[in-house]
Chains A and B, each alone.
Chain A
Amino acid sequence: MPLLSVSDLTVHFNIRRGLTRRSIDVVHAADEVSFSLERGGTLALVGESGSGKTTVAHAILGLNKPQAGSIVFRDRDLLCLPKRERRAARRGMQVVFQDPYSSLNPRMTVHDLVAEPLRVGSRMQGDELRERVLELLEMVGLGTQHLWRRPHEFSGGQCQRIAIARALALSPDLVVLDEPTSALDVSVQARILTLLHRLQRELTLSYLFIAHDLAVVESVASQVAVMYLGTIVESGPTEVIFNDARHPYTLALLASVPSPDPEHRSEGAALSGDVPSAIHPPGGCRFHPRCAFRMDVCEREAPPLVDRRGRRLACHLPDSFDLSAEQEVARLARATTTVEEPGRRPSARPRPTTEVPPKTRRRW
């Protein structure tokens, strides 16, 4: 059994107006999202902003109310449990947010921040509490000299360490990482990722990693699920998704990693237009208005998410359809950014123009 398995999770938000608070519209934040996460594994949820990845994370953490679906965590469906048991079950999952400063109460000291879950969750106090707080701080590389300081006295990376210590206080099995490094400097990012990796090994943690930085995702995740407008379009093992993406949106994401070279930019600008409104999502396949390969069927029918070629894919394109040119573009775009830092040495990079047929460049 997987540690966490989410199936057909649907989260809608009503937009209410007026005195009677009647609902005038519905935001389809997440529609029939399904995935599962093994114990000790890392699943990355990727997508543009507005794709619903944070909504899904919040639903799992109990921060919003899903309309339908199930969230099975440690063999129990959280949405069917009575309130008290649900709260107890959720102690097994904790969260680390993107902005390290606003995720720590500015009026509390490091000690109080880390002790709060212990006091609430396991009613710990006295010497036991003190020892546990110090143990947690040491685990993330902080010490006694930091105990009585407040968050604003720390750097972003240190604050993120405090947030991680707090998340680990109740010995969770699952940690939801909501873009934990995207507010940090690149060098600090690497250190935090190393720390997370070490903790995962030592404590057999499972991570649900929400991100838009694909380079980070490739280095940390064992599984990837790509979301677009509230639905998963493609999910599977990281190597499969990154090297052999089959969904046009995944390909576009991979190719859209920013590139400093003006000649390369035409291939990089893979997606045009904005994400359509989640209030009235497009009918049929939700990606069809922006898709380069759309067919008539895409406007009528939403493709189901089915197992194909070693991953789960929701697309009408047949397996025989040749996407190798696009995959090449994506691979090159990635090669330029993961190997070098953007903006450093724009000339020392392979020129992609020769490998890419002009046909695809025009379309994308």
Chain B
Amino acid sequence: MEMRRTPILGMWGSYRTRHQAAFEESRYSLRVFLKDRLALLGVCLILATIIVAVAAPWIAPYPDQGRGASNVKERLEAPSRAHPFGTDASGRDVLSRVIFGARIPLMISSVVVAAVLIIGVPLGGIAGYIGGWIDELVMRITDIFLAFPALILAMALVAFLGPSLRNVAIALVITWWPWYTRLVRGMAVSLRQRPYVLAARTMGVSQWTIIRRHVLPNALGPVVVQVSLDVGTVILEVAGLSFIGLGARPPQPEWGLMVSEGREYILSEWWISTFPGLAIFLLVLACNLVGDGLRDVLDPRTKR
């Protein structure tokens, strides 16, 4: 790029000039997003959760107990200076466990979202753009999955695969991809007849390139919005499955599991269930706030 053999190339410009349009667009979107106080609050909460999750071994007062080591001498102690969130039935510090527990929903939701996007988006694009029997086949398969309530299907799958966090992630991917395939497929069907796609066809661009370059990028807006709104639900489902004993196994510091472990003591030792429950509440709330904010920025239907 720096070799200027002709005067024309001198005007070619830097990376910055070549991507100016993209720069300006993202700056505009960021400005709109930052005006939304609630979304900003959500971003802060999520960032805080990420920092806590990463730094857990250093900031948790009792890292061993956070990972699951029991301490029978201090069972069921009320919140105090030594244990701000109290201790549970095995004498473990609840604060340390809540801190370590932040890692699980973050990990699982990112893995699930990534897997769902990798499966759902290309499949939807291919089904919608190519159409015909491929479309019909893919859509009938998604219909089968969508015929069951998502949580019930996930429960059945985990029960079949055996309870563990890995199997929860697999079950969630299996129940969630059809939604994304349908979403992208609908977009692809409408994009297929767009003049710029027809023009690309007359230029001799192959159909894979058309899907990759013209269809999928223009179908991504609603997908991003959907992802940000769904992350909270994924976190809730992980916690829910663990609560009923289908997800994390004791002594993992999973919030849903911790709520479940505190059930027997809820009337006297309320802190065992309350603090992990609050953690779930705050993280899911933060995800939904960010999702709403993103929708306002990205979804053309809500643009003012």
Q: Which residues of A contact B (CB under 8 A)?
A: 21, 58, 61-63, 87-88, 90-91, 93-95, 97-99, 102-107, 109, 111, 116-117, 120-121, 127, 130-131, 134, 144, 147-150, 153, 163, 166-167, 169-170
Residues in chain A near residue B195, CB distance under 8 A: 97-99, 102-103
Residues in chain B near residue A153, CB distance under 8 A: 21
Partner-binding segment picked from B10-18, B95-103, B119-127: B10-18
A144: contacting residue among B6, B11, B21, B205, CB under 8 A: B11
B202: contacting residue among A93, A102, A111, A144, CB under 8 A: A93
Complex contact B8–A134 (CB within 8 A): yes
Which residue of A is nearest B194, CB measured?
A102
Which residue of A is nearest B203, CB measured?
A117
| Binary flags per residue of B75-111, CB closer than 8 Å to A gives 1, else 0 | 0000000000000000000000000000000000000
Complex contact B6–A103 (CB within 8 A): no
Closest-CB distance, B151 to chain A (whole angstroms): 30
Residues in chain B near residue A131, CB distance under 8 A: 6, 8
Which residue of B is nearest A100, CB measured?
B195
> Taking chain B's interface residues, is the majority helix, strand, or loop, or is none over half, making it mixed?
helix
Query: How far apart are the CA atoms of A106 and B21 in the complex, in Å?
Result: 11
Asked if B218 is at the interface (CB within 8 A of a chain A CB), the reply is yes
Query: How far apart are the CA atoms of A99 and B196 in the complex, in Å?
Result: 10
Interface residues of B in 151-179 (CB under 8 A from A): none
Complex contact A130–B199 (CB within 8 A): no
Complex contact A104–B6 (CB within 8 A): no
Residues in chain B near residue A167, CB distance under 8 A: 199
Residues in chain B near residue A103, CB distance under 8 A: 194-196, 199
Residues in chain A near residue B18, CB distance under 8 A: 109, 111, 147-148
Residues in chain B near residue A94, CB distance under 8 A: 199, 202-203
Asked if B67 is at the interface (CB within 8 A of a chain A CB), the reply is no
A-B contact count (CB 8 A): 88
Closest-CB distance, A115 to chain B (whole angstroms): 11
Interface residues of B in 197-214 (CB under 8 A from A): 198-205, 209, 213-214
Complex contact A130–B205 (CB within 8 A): no
| Binary flags per residue of B197-238, CB closer than 8 Å to A gives 1, else 0 | 011111111000100011001100000000000000000000
Complex contact A121–B201 (CB within 8 A): no
Which residue of A is nearest B3, CB measured?
A127
Complex contact A121–B204 (CB within 8 A): yes
Complex contact B6–A127 (CB within 8 A): yes
B13: contacting residue among A102, A134, A148, CB under 8 A: A148
Closest-CB distance, A179 to chain B (whole angstroms): 11
| Binary flags per residue of B9-50, CB closer than 8 Å to A gives 1, else 0 | 101110001111100010000000000000000000000000
Could you give 20 example pairs across A and B, Cβ below 8 Å? Answer: A21-B136, A62-B201, A62-B202, A63-B198, A90-B204, A95-B198, A95-B199, A105-B196, A105-B200, A105-B218, A109-B21, A117-B204, A120-B203, A130-B12, A148-B17, A148-B21, A149-B21, A150-B25, A153-B21, A166-B199
Residues in chain A near residue B217, CB distance under 8 A: 105, 107
Closest-CB distance, A54 to chain B (whole angstroms): 11
* A-B contacts besides A97-B195, A98-B195, A105-B214, 8 pairs, CB < 8 Å: A91-B203, A94-B199, A94-B202, A94-B203, A104-B196, A105-B196, A130-B9, A130-B12
Residues in chain A near residue B5, CB distance under 8 A: 127
Query: How far apart are the CA atoms of A208 and B63 in the complex, in Å?
Result: 76
Interface residues of B in 109-149 (CB under 8 A from A): 136
Residues in chain A near residue B17, CB distance under 8 A: 148
Complex contact A170–B203 (CB within 8 A): yes
Residues in chain B near residue A120, CB distance under 8 A: 203-205, 209
Residues in chain A near residue B199, CB distance under 8 A: 94-95, 97, 103, 163, 166-167
Query: How far apart are the CA atoms of A117 and B209 in the complex, in Å?
Result: 12
Complex contact B203–A121 (CB within 8 A): yes
Query: How far apart are the CA atoms of A48 and B136 in the complex, in Å?
Result: 35
Complex contact B202–A90 (CB within 8 A): yes
Closest-CB distance, A173 to chain B (whole angstroms): 14
Q: Which 4 A-B pairs have the closest CB atoms?
A: A103-B195, A97-B195, A117-B203, A150-B21
Residues in chain B near residue A150, CB distance under 8 A: 21, 25
Residues in chain B near residue A116, CB distance under 8 A: 200, 203, 205
Closest-CB distance, B27 to chain A (whole angstroms): 14
| Binary flags per residue of B241-255, CB closer than 8 Å to A gives 1, else 0 | 000000000000000
Residues in chain A near residue B12, CB distance under 8 A: 130
Query: How far apart are the CA atoms of A117 and B214 in the complex, in Å?
Result: 13
